[in-house]
Chain A
C-alpha cells in the first residue's frame, strides 16, 4: 500500500491510503513511518515522542526496526524528529518537536467502517493473547531482524543465502550477513489459506480478511522466501508476477507486536 504524502514548509507527513482515519488492516504508525523514512533522504532522527505514542509495544526496539529497515540513524541529538498525532495515524518528519496543526491528508481509498472496527478489535484481542501461536524466542527475533526486515543476506562460496543460516554443507560457519537482497522478487507459487487453514496466530483476523494469502518468491540473486501479501489485497497473485516488500504487522502475542516484510503486488 503506498502512503499518502503531504509537504508543509520543511516538514513532510504521511498517512496510509485511508487518510487520517485508519492505518489499514496490518498497518500502524510505525509501518507508515518506515515507508515515509524510506521515501526521504536519510539523515539522523529523534524518535522519543513517537515511540511514546505507539498503541502497542513492538517486539523489538523501534530504533532497531528503523535502522534495519531504512538508512536513517536514530540519534537523541538527531537533526530531525519523527512525530505523530495521538489521535490519528499520521506521521511526520520535522525539524521541530511539536506541530501546531496537523495537515488533513485526504484518503485515497475508502474503507468499511465496520470492517475497520472488527479488524482493530481482532488485533486488540490477539495482542492480549498468551502464546497460542508458534513460539519464536525473543533472541531469535532480534538476531534475525536485519534479515527479516532489511533482507540482509549472507554469502557463502559466492552464493547469497537468505534467510540466515549457521554452518554450510562443509560444516564451516557462514559469515554474518553483508549483502542486501533486491527490493523486489518474482512469484514462483502462491496460495490463499482459508480461515480454516490459517495458523492459529491469524485465527481472529483471517476470517475478516477472507483468508491469508502467501507467496513463495525468488530473488534474482538466488534466494527464495515466503511472504504474506500486505494489506487487504484482493487481487489474485500469479506465477512470474513481481512483488516488492514493505514492513507490516505480522501478528501480536504476549502484549507485543511482531513486524516483518510483506509482499506488495506490482
Chain B
C-alpha cells in the first residue's frame, strides 16, 4: 500500500488575530506551500479537508469551499471536518486515508478557528456545544467543569495533587516561551501557577488553555511524489482514531480516555513502534489534567503515574525519554479549536526537520506523535511521524 509523506506545513501565529477566516487560512496555506523545498502550488491539490467548528456561527455552512476559494485551490474537492477540538486531527486522518486508498496523490489537511471576536457569553455558548448538551450542560457543565470533575477524581484515586497540574502548566509555558507561533509566550513560576483564579474547582486559570484565533495546514503526498518536493519528507508512519461516550458519566472510568487508548493503539501498531520510541509528543493539554491523562493513555507513564511523571519533569524538553508539548502545547501555544490538530503536525514537521528555533529544538528528534482530542474525550486522533519511512 502507498505510503504517505508530509512535505509542507504552515500555520498562522495562534492568538488574537486582526485577520478573519479567509485571511488566516490563506496565510497558513501560503506558509505551508512556501515550506515545500521544491515547486509546489495550491492548484496541484486534489483533495482538501479543513477542520473547524465554525465557532461563532460565521460561515457555518460551506466553510471549506469559501476557504479554498481564497487560497488558490479553486475547484478542488473539499469539505469541512467537524469533530470538536479534534476536527483537524481527523482532517489529517481523512487526508492520509485518501492517499492511502489511492484516490489522490496530493492532499491538504488543515484547520481554522476564529474565536476571539465574540462576546464572553457567546463564546461560552460555542465552547459548550461540543459537550453533552442534554445532560451535562444542563447540569452546569462546560469543558472546564468536566475536566475539573476528572481532576478531582484523579486526585482521589491516585497519589496526585493539584501541584502536579501546576508542573504541567509551568513546563508548557517554558516550552512555548521561544515559540514565535505561540499565543501565551510568558514564563510562569510555580508559585504564580499555583495561585490562579479559580475557574472550575480544582482547576484554575493556569490549568486552562486560552481560546485562540488561528489556522494551520499541512501538505500530504503519495510516496512516489515525496522526493519530487523535498529531500526530507516526514513520513506518516501511523494513524489511529477512536471514540467514546460523549458524556463523562456514561464512561466506565472517569480518569482514562478510552478514545485516546484506542487511537494510539492503532497508530502504534501501524507504525510498528512502542511509546518508548517516541522522541516528542504534542498532546492535547486543553486542561493540565488532560496532559496527565494523555501521558498515561499514550503509554508514556503507567496507570496512575501521570501525576508523578509531571512532578518529576519527565516531559521537559531534552530531559526525559520523551518531550511533551515542545511547542508549548495548547496551554501556551494556544487552542484555536479546529486548527489545533494540524497545528500539532506543523510543530512535529518542523521539529523532525530541525527547523524550529534553536532554543527549543528537541535533540535528535526522529519520531514524533500528535494527539488531538475532541471535547472531554468523545473523539481522538493520534498520528505518528518519522524521518525514516
Q: Interface residues, chain A, CB within 8 Å of chain B?
A: 132-136, 140, 144, 163, 188-194, 196-203, 212-214, 216, 224-228, 239, 250-251, 258, 260
Minimal beta-carbon separation of A76 from chain B (angstroms): 32
Q: Is the CB of B138 within 8 A of A140?
A: no
Q: Answer whether residue B250 sits at the interface, using C-beta atoms and an 8 A cutoff.
A: yes
Q: Answer whether residue B249 sits at the interface, using C-beta atoms and an 8 A cutoff.
A: yes
Q: Is the CB of B250 within 8 A of A197?
A: no
Question: Which of B124, B140, B150, B199 has the most C-beta atoms of chain A within 10 angstroms of its own C-beta?
Answer: B140
- Distance A227 CA – B200 CA, assembled complex (angstroms): 15
In this complex, what residue of A is CB-closest to B138?
A250
Q: Is the CB of A199 within 8 A of B135?
A: no
Which stretch from B126-134, B164-172, B273-281 is at the chain A interface? B126-134
Q: Is the CB of A197 within 8 A of B138?
A: no
User: How many residues does chain B have at the interface if contact means C-beta atoms less than 8 Å apart?
Assistant: 37
Q: Which of A144, A201, A227 contacts B134 (CB 8 A)?
A: A144
Q: Is the CB of A198 within 8 A of B135?
A: no
Instruction: Provide a sorted-by-A list of 21 A–B residue pairs whose CB atoms are within 8 angstroms.
Output: A132-B121, A134-B137, A140-B134, A163-B135, A188-B153, A189-B152, A191-B148, A193-B140, A193-B199, A196-B120, A196-B199, A197-B142, A197-B145, A197-B200, A198-B140, A199-B128, A199-B137, A216-B149, A216-B153, A225-B135, A228-B140
Contacts of A144 in B (CB 8 A): 134
CB proximity to A under 8 Å, residues B196-220 = 197-203
Q: Is the CB of A191 within 8 A of B152?
A: yes
Q: Which of B137, B203, B248 contacts A201 (CB 8 A)?
A: B137
Q: Is the CB of A216 within 8 A of B248?
A: yes
Contacts of A191 in B (CB 8 A): 141, 145, 148-149, 152, 200-203
Contacts of A251 in B (CB 8 A): 138
Minimal beta-carbon separation of A188 from chain B (angstroms): 6
Contacts of B120 in A (CB 8 A): 196
Contacts of B128 in A (CB 8 A): 134, 199-200
Q: Interface residues, chain B, CB within 8 Å of chain A?
A: 120-122, 124-125, 128-129, 133-142, 144-145, 148-150, 152-153, 156, 197-203, 247-250, 254
Minimal beta-carbon separation of B162 from chain A (angstroms): 13
Q: Is the CB of A239 within 8 A of B152?
A: yes
Q: Is the CB of B142 within 8 A of A188?
A: no
Q: Is the CB of A198 within 8 A of B201?
A: no
Contacts of B142 in A (CB 8 A): 193, 197-199
Contacts of B152 in A (CB 8 A): 189-191, 239
Minimal beta-carbon separation of B250 from chain A (angstroms): 7
Contacts of B138 in A (CB 8 A): 134, 136, 201, 250-251, 258, 260
- Distance A257 CA – B95 CA, assembled complex (angstroms): 45
Q: Is the CB of A226 within 8 A of B135?
A: yes
Contacts of B140 in A (CB 8 A): 193, 198-199, 202, 212-214, 228
- Distance A239 CA – B202 CA, assembled complex (angstroms): 13
- Distance A140 CA – B142 CA, assembled complex (angstroms): 20
Minimal beta-carbon separation of B101 from chain A (angstroms): 26
Minimal beta-carbon separation of A217 from chain B (angstroms): 8
Q: Is the CB of A189 within 8 A of B150?
A: yes
A216-B149, A250-B138 given as contacts; is B133 within 8 A of A134 (CB)?
A: yes
Q: Is the CB of B141 within 8 A of A199?
A: yes
Contacts of A194 in B (CB 8 A): 197-200
Minimal beta-carbon separation of B247 from chain A (angstroms): 8
